[in-house]
Structure 1
Amino acid sequence: MMAMRKIQILCVGLAALWLASCTDDKGNDSLSPINELEISGIEDEYYNVGYKETLVIPVTLKGLLSGSDENQFDYQWYLCNKEVTENAHKHTVISTEKDLEYPLDIPSGNYRLYFRATDKETGMQWEKVTSLTVLSPFVRGFYLWGDKEDGTCGMDFVSMIEGRDTTMMADLFDNTVGLKKAGNIVFTGTYVATPHVVNLWATAENGAYSLEHSSSLEKFGVLEDVSLDKMVFPTLEVTRPLNFVDIVPHPYGSNNMNRARSWRVLLTERDAFFCGSLLSSEAYGNPMNRYDANTSVLYKPSPYVFYQDNSTYLQAVAFFDETNHCFTVQNGASYAVTHTVKCTDSESPFWFDQNKYTPVRDLVYGENGFNGGYSYALMNDANGDYYIYKFKVNRYGPAGISKSLARQVDKAVATDFDKAGHYTFFSVQPVILYAVGADLWAYDYVRNIAKKVATMDGEITYLAMDAHSSNTPTDFIVATYSESQKGTVYKYTIKDDPNDIVVEPHTYRTESYPWKTNLKVAKVEYRNSSL
């Protein structure tokens, strides 16, 4: 219950008279009544969002003598941390008005809030206490990483607090290093036991940095003291600077579980590094993008890493070797990874070694689908032909990848497929979504049918499946940009229908959707972490 205290600063000798609610007027030996005060309008507890909401508390006063005369009193509102003991806490004055309007530009946490009214004539004080819980808007939601109008990188956040409307938190990135032309942003997911394995990395055309990610912050800056040069310790000669590209495996499920908490693969522009233990620190040795533990000859891995995305535990990861045009897989278990090996090969349904084809095929785009744990590769060749491979990374070693399907894209059916700027695979059905300008297309590569499923109001700048944020493999996200509308982010559902391609927009009972931003969005990244 709410605590209420009446503070009476009087001499000890008159204590009994004060308890009787009267004062002694020595001038005429008569007793004068005391102005008792009733305070109402303050609730037992408040839950508000920090850095977004304003705490508004209108107070009603009723005095025994003063009635509703508010000019009889001076007012003060105090704020202090709830965890601090009653005897030791320090008050911070946040207002001297009767009615409180306080922008909650304070970190998330538990606080006590005190209202005090002081009688101007007698000095008597009345106080009421309530609890205030300030919620962080940055625990759960989507990072939006993209370009501002001047070309520099910016960050917004779609805040998704349980039981509240989604809200857009804008202009959150403190770009002290002048990053331009946004690329990727990667949140490794949450893991309370070892918080040092939780990271947020962002890339741009002119650099890549680790960013601040604490949910208690108001803005997020660059951690300039965190660099890959302080985390990677190879004895082999590698290409420097070490520019971050990705960390895998990515988080799992709506709880954003950090699958990279015990071992992880760091991908840079030229190399891949393996960390087999993260108990005390994150440290990498020699690159694994080679075919023998004793060689210094390295191949260039593609920017896509393949693994089973529907599992909380991963046996292995696989790569596409851009130097030698073939698929590879890690050589051993997580405690003994030193290199990769080429896969045991056969022609059916496709070769792992793309040199078997004339002209040779190379990887255009890769993705790990949620349904069934399959991975997908979009290939093309010098003739401009495209091919889709479906396979599964089961374990390490030469026989670690099992093939499932190969299809050539019929460009006569899949309109403007070769002009697409973005792709994503729907893993429940044999469908690839692709974006050409403002047009969103879907192509069923088994039934060989294509369909324009939407024409957006602006250029599509981002397209990706979103199986994890809501544990729904049929969801995907589209971001668009136009000079008039600026950035907009949408969620769609593609139905699990083997006879038709049906795409439907999400409908939210909220005024904030679709999510508007001033950014030209390059990446949308889900987060659910109180760290």
Structure 2
Amino acid sequence: MNKRILTVFSLLWILAMTSCYKDKGNYDYINVNKVNISGIDTTYNIVLGVPFRISPTVTGTMPGMDDTSKYSYEWFFAPNIGDAIATGTRYDISKEHDLTQLPGMKVGDYVGHFRATDKATGISSYKAFKLRIVTGVYEGWLLLNDINGKARLDMLSKVDTGWRFMPDVLASVSSHLLLDGKPISVDLITLKSTTIYITTDKGSNKIDPENFDWNETMTLASDMGNKLPSPGFYAARFYRVPSGSMMVGVDSNAYYYYSTNFLNYTSRINFVRTEGKYFAVGGVGYGTSFLAPNVIYDNTNRRFLLQAPGGSACQVMADPGARNFHYQDPTKRLVHIESNSYEGGDIFALLREDKTNINCIAVLNTSGTTTSVSVKLQLYDTITGAPDLNKATAFAVSPIFGSLLYAVDGKVYSYDLYQKAANLVLDLPGKIISSMRIDATSGANFNRRLAVGYCNPDGSNGVFSVYDIPTQNAPLTLYQSWSGFGKIVKATYRFR
């Protein structure tokens, strides 16, 4: 009994002592500085060689923590592979508050990270953003000029704020290519990669598509296995055919690039195997399908021939038996041939009779499968009511309306193939139009607009203007215009 009383008493004593114990723990909560970052955009486009500055705002939640010296900083980047946090090579660029340089980084897309850390507590915060690094020649119009008989390449470089005019762009970027001779053409060919050719009457050279630099291996001769057909040979014209690329040389021979069959501009394809003869090329037309054949005009025999994708020779085509049209007509010569996306992809050929100088238009459509190819005549007609067409120096075909645009001095006419009537759609008094085209591969902004180069009759004060074609045969409306050029020989858009 006494043991039970003692046990109960002991328990009561312990409880009493516990209830009287004073908790000496520290429950005074201390606020810590939270780091906040602002002033960084979600996306940046940086042009190499052009000064820039990204200056974030770093603040803290505690008094006095807006002092930037109380934080350490870190900028690092990794290739953008489409994820919020990229993987791959990491570029640790700077430990400064502002970012002003990108040492060691190349053209491309990246995910960038900025981290600010409180030096006292080690607490940090970071912001991620997208970065695109481009060169000053990343995208835009390439314009080959005639400056008193000498070639000069200019560029209208597309930048965030609009367009940057770069006269003599090769010198601007310190390219090792020095142009010599009269300007012939500037061409952009996309095969396994993008290639830019610049041609004068002294030769054809390639430039690096990213920085426009050049070395002695970047020539048409190297593309042809260092076996030029003749001394002083150059490419008079390049064609971006869907199945590869075709080049017509100054010697009127056609050379085909088709990697599948190991054709690398090394074989002449202006050859009819059944006849065993070569012919002089007058022009090349092509469809929009990879399997569609090309149409090559034979100047020697005045006829249209078929060249199948990958084929190393041309084939004679049977007449379509309609509209009094013959693929071979010795009474007519080819004036102009052009391919565009009208009605899914047609070839327009302007022909002129020798004796009467009457002009005719033929519209062809090509198609193909893995087993067969074909050419279909869409239209053949005599052109009437087209003022001064025989004096035209430049041509284009509207991919919207299928109308034939032609330039005479400072005027542009639009000929409606179906209404058989021409309208004056642009008049530039006192000027001459030196180039005119619709660049089908220039992207959504320009592939349906007419690009016109014009200047004074002496080749000075060149202007490059791009026009909308609003409605059939209506006056052109100005979209954009730039000055400061010479006589523009050709304009080609370097797209991305």
TM-score in terms of structure 2 length: 0.72
After TM superposition, the structure 1 = structure 2 runs for residues 271-420 of structure 1, keeping only pairs within 5 Å, are 271-275=253-257, 277-279=258-260, 283-292=264-273, 295=276, 297-302=277-282, 304-308=283-287, 311-330=288-307, 333-334=308-309, 336-341=311-316, 343-344=318-319, 348-355=323-330, 357=331, 361-372=332-343, 373-380=345-352, 385-394=357-366, 400=375, 402=377, 404-408=379-383, 410=384, 413-420=385-392
1:246, CA displacement in angstroms? Answer: 4.0
Q: Deviation string for 1:336-373 (max 9, x for gaps)? A: 54344365487953443342x3xxx3222211242244
Q: Which has the larger radius of gyration?
A: 2
Out of 143, 146, 160, which is 1:145 matched to? 143
After TM superposition, the structure 1 = structure 2 runs for residues 103-182 of structure 1, keeping only pairs within 5 Å, are 107-114=107-114, 128-135=125-132, 142-147=140-145, 151-159=150-158, 166-168=162-164, 170=166, 172-173=169-170, 174=175, 176-182=177-183
Distance 1:234 1:305, change over 3 A: farther
- Counterparts of 1:520 and 1:58 in 2: how far apart (Å)? 47
- Counterparts of 2:89 and 2:140 in 1: how far apart (Å)? 39
SS at match of 2:390: helix
Q: Residue 522 of structure 1 corresponds to which residue in structure 2?
A: 489
Q: Deviation string for 1:72-97 (max 9, x for gaps)? A: 5587664444579999955333x84x
- Counterparts of 2:41 and 2:124 in 1: how far apart (Å)? 14
8 A contact 2:234–2:249 mirrored in 1 = yes
8 A contact 2:261–2:310 mirrored in 1 = no
- Superposition CA RMSD, Å: 4.6
SS at match of 2:281: coil
Distance 1:493 1:86, change over 3 A: closer
Q: Residue 464 of structure 1 corresponds to which residue in structure 2?
A: 437
Q: Does 1:210 align with 2:206?
A: yes
Q: Does 1:434 align with 2:411?
A: no
- Counterparts of 1:88 and 1:449 in 2: how far apart (Å)? 62
Amino acid at match of 2:492: E
Q: Residue 6 of structure 2 corresponds to which residue in structure 1?
A: none
8 A contact 1:407–1:445 mirrored in 2 = no
1:434, CA displacement in angstroms? Answer: 1.6
Distance 1:89 1:418, change over 3 A: closer
- Identical positions, percent: 13
| 198-207 or 474-483: bigger deviation | 474-483
SS at match of 2:268: coil
Amino acid at match of 2:463: G
- Counterparts of 1:288 and 1:88 in 2: how far apart (Å)? 46
After TM superposition, the structure 1 = structure 2 runs for residues 2-13 of structure 1, keeping only pairs within 5 Å, are none
Q: Deviation string for 1:352-402 (max 9, x for gaps)? A: 3342x3xxx322221124224432222335567241321315469998453
- Counterparts of 1:280 and 1:398 in 2: how far apart (Å)? 18
Unaligned runs of 5+ in 2: 1-26
Distance 1:184 1:85, change over 3 A: closer
- Counterparts of 1:486 and 1:75 in 2: how far apart (Å)? 53
Amino acid at match of 1:404: L
Amino acid at match of 1:201: Y
SS at match of 1:352: coil
Amino acid at match of 1:415: P
Distance 1:352 1:281, change over 3 A: closer
Q: Residue 234 of structure 2 corresponds to which residue in structure 1?
A: 243
- Counterparts of 1:349 and 1:169 in 2: how far apart (Å)? 50
| 204-213 or 398-407: bigger deviation | 398-407
Distance 1:45 1:305, change over 3 A: same
Count of residue pairs brought into register by the alignment: 448
Distance 1:201 1:439, change over 3 A: same
Out of 195, 198, 213, which is 1:199 matched to? 195
Q: Deviation string for 1:197-223 (max 9, x for gaps)? A: x4332322322122322xxx3x21336
Q: Does 1:491 align with 2:471?
A: no
8 A contact 1:342–1:398 mirrored in 2 = no
- Counterparts of 2:63 and 2:444 in 1: how far apart (Å)? 59
Distance 1:175 1:462, change over 3 A: farther
SS at match of 1:183: strand
Out of 15, 22, 47, which is 2:44 matched to? 47
8 A contact 1:488–1:516 mirrored in 2 = yes
Tell which has more relative contact order, 1 or 2 (C-alpha 8 A, sep 6+).
1
SS at match of 1:283: strand
1:435, CA displacement in angstroms? Answer: 1.7
- Counterparts of 1:445 and 1:82 in 2: how far apart (Å)? 52
8 A contact 2:34–2:60 mirrored in 1 = yes
- Counterparts of 1:465 and 1:176 in 2: how far apart (Å)? 28
- Counterparts of 1:350 and 1:175 in 2: how far apart (Å)? 51
8 A contact 2:106–2:133 mirrored in 1 = no
1:115, CA displacement in angstroms? Answer: 5.4
SS at match of 2:186: strand
TM-score in terms of structure 1 length: 0.67
- Counterparts of 2:410 and 2:346 in 1: how far apart (Å)? 29
Q: Deviation string for 1:221-263 (max 9, x for gaps)? A: 336424444444799x95455522444444xxxxxxxx23xx5
Q: Residue 477 of structure 2 corresponds to which residue in structure 1?
A: 505
1:284, CA displacement in angstroms? Answer: 4.6
- Counterparts of 1:88 and 1:109 in 2: how far apart (Å)? 13
Amino acid at match of 1:464: R
1:267, CA displacement in angstroms? Answer: 2.6
8 A contact 1:329–1:341 mirrored in 2 = yes
- Counterparts of 1:182 and 1:441 in 2: how far apart (Å)? 26
8 A contact 1:41–1:57 mirrored in 2 = no
1:39, CA displacement in angstroms? Answer: 4.6
- Larger relative strand fraction: 2
Q: Residue 11 of structure 2 corresponds to which residue in structure 1?
A: none
